[in-house]
Amino acid sequence: MKKKTVLVTGASGGIGAAIVRQLAKDGYTVLAHANRGMNMATHLAQELCATGYDVHTVQADLSDSNQVNRLCSEALTLYHGLYALVHCAGIAWTGLMPDMTDAEWDRLIGTNLSSAFYLCRALVPEMISKRSGRIVLISSIWGQTGASCEVAYSATKAGLIGFGKALAREVGPSGICVNCVAPGVIDTRMMERYTQEEKDDLAADTALQRLGTPGDVSGVCSFLLSDAASFITGQVIGVEGGFI
């Protein structure tokens, strides 16, 4: 049986890398995307390929529609279509909202939100023609609740939720499922700026009394791409341990 191909963006990050690992082990051909983190994505792909999994790296600045169109065109041609997109790429910005510059705002919006539009615009027509496909957008609990000193970041993640819910209704008649995953406090490199005491406080504020792991998120993505999730669309699935 021909393997299904999945594009995972942001594969150089902690959550993205975990998703690549999980989906490769699930038996998919995985296209692991990165931009500035290509060295990490390449190392990950080489490691997985050495143990028999099918992983390939692709590079693009997802805030640039021309680069997204090139990436998607090459992927659709070389792999004869994609079964799924798991859009995990994103950046953070922390600070007081009035201190944010136009350039910082534009970069955040382009990387976190416009990228989803560019990717789906390029990939959805082929999914519609095949009347099947899965799209998973990695949002955040801050897209649901908002976070002080992360106003712009929260806005981009809320935008992903609105985008995903609307797209699910638009493409549902073509058999395509679109869902969002909203991680809570996940212990990745992005948490390195926090002290251990601050991490302990965050864990204490979580019902399960621990921080999340990238594997907690990748497991949900694996489920959403499986046949067991064929009647789930337009949903926001929180992976936050009872934080909110």
Give me the active site residues, please.
Answer: 153
| 133-138/176-183 β-pairing | parallel
Helix-strand-coil percent breakdown of the chain, rounded to 5?
50, 15, 30
Cα–Cα–Cα angle for 37, 107, 87, nearest 5°? 55
Radius of gyration of the chain (CA): 17
Pick from 194, 187, 185: nearest CA to 241: 185
180 in Cβ contact with 161 (< 8 Å): yes
DSSP string, 53-70: --EEEEE--TT-HHHHHH
CA distance 38 to 208: 34
Per-residue CA distances from 216 to 82, 152, 219 (Å): 24, 26, 6
Q: How many residues comprise the chain?
A: 244
Q: Which residue has the tokens 């002080």?
A: 148
